[in-house]
Amino acid sequence: MKNLKIFNSLSNKKEIFFPINNRNIRIYACGPTVYNYAHVGNARMAVVFDTIVKLLRYIFPKVTYVSNITDIDDKIIQRSLVEKKSCEQISATYLSIYNSEMKQLNVDNPDFQPKATEYVESMIEKIKILQDKGYAYFNEGHLLFSVLTFPEYGILSKRSKEDQIAGKRIKVASYKKKPEDFILWKPSKENEPGWSSPWGKGRPGWHTECFAMASDILKTPFDIHGGGLDLKFPHHENEIAQGCCFQKNKNIQSYAKYWMHNGFVTFEEEKMSKSLGNIALLKDYLKVYNGEIIRLALLSAHYRSPLVWKESLLIQSKNILDKFYEVLRKLEDVKLENYNTKLPDELEGYFFDDFNLSKVFAYLNRIIKDKENYKNEEKKMKLKKILYTTGNILGIFKQDTNEWFKNDKKASEKDIKEIEKLIEQRSLARMEKNFNLADNIRKQLIDLGIEIQDSPKGAKWKRVK
Ligand SMILES: [Zn+2]
């Protein structure tokens, strides 16, 4: 077996992956805050780390994967006020939507999906110890981590002391002794959820959640800590500070040994993030495209590179999948006892080189074109096994080949914007009681393979198979 090489953000270079215990690989990746529908950026993180875990499972006998859910947060509180529901209702609703959408992307459930609210007791215990050891101070109702007590701070993001002061141009909160200090505990207002603590009724800071849950479930040090690039600073930097100080072990790998980050999703040259109001919601793409198409599109750029999200990417992914499903359909009569095999060294080498998926696909394209591989049953069997084993790692080729081609190509290739625009025009026509126009638009949509259903919450649509 070749060595797996991964890019470690901590050392800023590609390194051979040496597990802490090769009988159980432990990996943690920061999951979403559940206050709204998942956007494409959330989906990329989930698909990237699911693929990393799938490759680790191909190599090692056991992998324990933890990905958390932030279910207490200012954004959830705000949303609960807007929707006039409790924070529990908001987070439960969006968590269940998130999980069902991830399932459509062939993302397996993590082994553990801890919710922050279930670990508050443990967070309180841990930050109390940090305070007792002199790493934290209490001021104006807030417990803060004093960054000065951890000289290694900045090691992950490679930020200078100057740059660490996120928002130094913004007025620094009066409870902070230094602008770079971060919140471990903050007070809750009367109408906000809170827990009693040595510092009064309040709630934990976001950076404390992951530190407590990862330490409790995986035990430290664990092998890999991951998340989106936007979490590198300050979130992951703050986790390292807490993790190392908690153990009084200033070795920066005493919390997590390797750090992996997936790149941003960009959308018309702008960072895609809900807070910027530049929203590309996964649910809208799932209405039109099969989850596997979206998954492959999310894997189309190297996981560390930015991914420029555009409609043509989805069409391209669909064409790639069509091509492979066509081959799998041709190989349907070839009987396999199991769908997993040891991959050829060359192909394995591409996977093991920090997930060089473009080389993986170049290899697959080569072998499906080679007539030699269809010459006899044995060769066909080998080809089929390679395709399905690769598919298991990448989370694709999961559908029945005949089912795959039943999907209405016409609708799936349609521009989602065009469909949404027609629906909007139809709603407007209905509001203006122009039922003739509304009906004509409905017919146009049917021609495009789109069925529309009106509900009290507005029009819903689906692709007609
Ligand atoms: Zn986190």
Query: 2 falls in which pLDDT band (50, 70, 90)?
Result: confident
Measure the CA–CA gap between 41 and 420, rounded to whole angstroms: 21
Residue 280 is predicted with a pLDDT of 83
CA of 456 to the centre of ligand 1 (A): 37
Q: What is the mean pLDDT of the chain?
A: 91
Least confident segment among 159-168, 253-262, 370-379, 391-400: 159-168
Residue found by looking up tokens 């007070």 in the block: 187
Residue 412 is predicted with a pLDDT of 54
Q: Are 222 and 214 in contact (CB under 8 A)?
A: yes
Cα 192–Cα 198–Cα 200 angle in degrees, nearest 5: 30
Q: Residue 172's CB: how many other CB atoms inside 10 A?
A: 15
Q: Residue 91's CB: how many other CB atoms inside 10 A?
A: 26
Measure the CA–CA gap between 249 and 247, rounded to whole angstroms: 5
DSSP code of 465?
Answer: -
**For 295-313, what is each residue's pLDDT tens digit?**
999 999 999 999 999 888 9
Least confident segment among 166-180, 194-208, 257-271, 412-426: 412-426
Residue 447 is predicted with a pLDDT of 73
**For 309-328, what is each residue's pLDDT tens digit?**
988 899 999 999 999 999 99
CA of 307 to the centre of ligand 1 (A): 22
Measure the CA–CA gap between 8 and 354, rounded to whole angstroms: 10
Domains and CATH numbers, the chain: 5-266 (3.40.50.620), 315-403 (no CATH), 411-463 (no CATH)
From the list 264, 233, 74, 227, the residue with the least C-alpha distance to 165 is 233
Tokens of 308: 């420029």
Report whether pLDDT(292) > 50.
yes
DSSP code of 3?
Answer: P
Q: How far is CA 55 from CA 12, 199, 222, in A?
A: 22, 44, 18
Query: 279 falls in which pLDDT band (50, 70, 90)?
Result: low
DSSP tally for the chain: helices H, then strands E = 17, 15
Residue 454 is predicted with a pLDDT of 80
Query: 464 falls in which pLDDT band (50, 70, 90)?
Result: low
CA of 238 to the centre of ligand 1 (A): 10
Least confident segment among 144-153, 172-181, 318-327, 400-409: 400-409
Q: Which helix (H) or strand (E) holds 63?
A: strand 63-67
CA of 171 to the centre of ligand 1 (A): 26
Measure the CA–CA gap between 115 and 455, rounded to whole angstroms: 33
From the list 136, 154, 176, the residue with the least C-alpha distance to 234 is 154
**For 322-357, what is each residue's pLDDT tens digit?**
999 999 999 999 998 888 899 999 999 999 999 999
Q: Identify which has the larger pLDDT, 168 or 340.
A: 340
CA of 412 to the centre of ligand 1 (A): 35
CA of 70 to the centre of ligand 1 (A): 8
**For 79-94, what is each residue's pLDDT tens digit?**
999 999 999 999 999 9
Identity of residue 318: K
From the list 461, 457, 388, 381, the residue with the least C-alpha distance to 421 is 461
Q: Identify which has the larger pLDDT, 447 or 92.
A: 92
Report whether pLDDT(208) > 60.
yes
Query: 98 falls in which pLDDT band (50, 70, 90)?
Result: very high
Task: Give me the mean pLDDT over the 343-372 stretch.
Answer: 98
Residue 162 is predicted with a pLDDT of 67
Residue 170 is predicted with a pLDDT of 67
**What contacts 343, CB < 8 A, 6 or more positions away?**
58, 351, 386, 389, 390
Residue 164 is predicted with a pLDDT of 61
Tokens of 176: 């902070």
Measure the CA–CA gap between 393 and 351, rounded to whole angstroms: 9
Report whether pLDDT(32) > 50.
yes
**What's this model's pTM, rounded to 2 decimal places?**
0.86
Measure the CA–CA gap between 301 and 356, rounded to whole angstroms: 10
Q: Residue 361's CB: how many other CB atoms inside 10 A?
A: 18
Query: 25 falls in which pLDDT band (50, 70, 90)?
Result: very high
Cα 151–Cα 155–Cα 156 angle in degrees, nearest 5: 145
Q: Are 282 and 276 in contact (CB under 8 A)?
A: no
Query: 416 falls in which pLDDT band (50, 70, 90)?
Result: confident
Residue 163 is predicted with a pLDDT of 67
Using the Cα atoms of residue 299, residue 407, residue 423 and residue 291 in order, give the sign of their dihedral.
negative
**What contacts 391, CB < 8 A, 6 or more positions away?**
397, 398
CA of 207 to the centre of ligand 1 (A): 6
Strand partners, 270: 267
Residue 444 is predicted with a pLDDT of 80
CA of 350 to the centre of ligand 1 (A): 29
Residue 420 is predicted with a pLDDT of 79
CA of 156 to the centre of ligand 1 (A): 14
CA of 253 to the centre of ligand 1 (A): 17
Task: Give me the mean pLDDT over the 57-74 stretch.
Answer: 96
Residue 269 is predicted with a pLDDT of 47
Report whether pLDDT(361) > 80.
yes
CA of 345 to the centre of ligand 1 (A): 35
Q: How far is CA 281 from CA 101, 153, 204, 309, in A?
A: 11, 35, 28, 12
Measure the CA–CA gap between 80 and 94, rounded to whole angstroms: 12
CA of 212 to the centre of ligand 1 (A): 10
Q: Residue 465's CB: how many other CB atoms inside 10 A?
A: 10
Beta strands in 12-79 (DSSP E): 13-16, 25-29, 63-67
Q: Are 328 and 381 in contact (CB under 8 A)?
A: no
CA of 112 to the centre of ligand 1 (A): 14
Least confident segment among 2-11, 42-51, 265-274: 265-274
Task: Give me the mean pLDDT over the 150-164 stretch.
Answer: 84
CA of 211 to the centre of ligand 1 (A): 7
Report whether pLDDT(461) > 80.
no
Report whether pLDDT(465) > 60.
no
Residue 168 is predicted with a pLDDT of 55
Identity of residue 335: K
Measure the CA–CA gap between 207 and 170, rounded to whole angstroms: 20
Residue 60, classified by CB atoms within 10 Å of its CB into exposed (0-12), middle (13-18) or buried (19+), is middle
CA of 131 to the centre of ligand 1 (A): 21
Least confident segment among 248-257, 294-303, 424-433: 424-433
CA of 214 to the centre of ligand 1 (A): 9
Strand partners, 259: 225
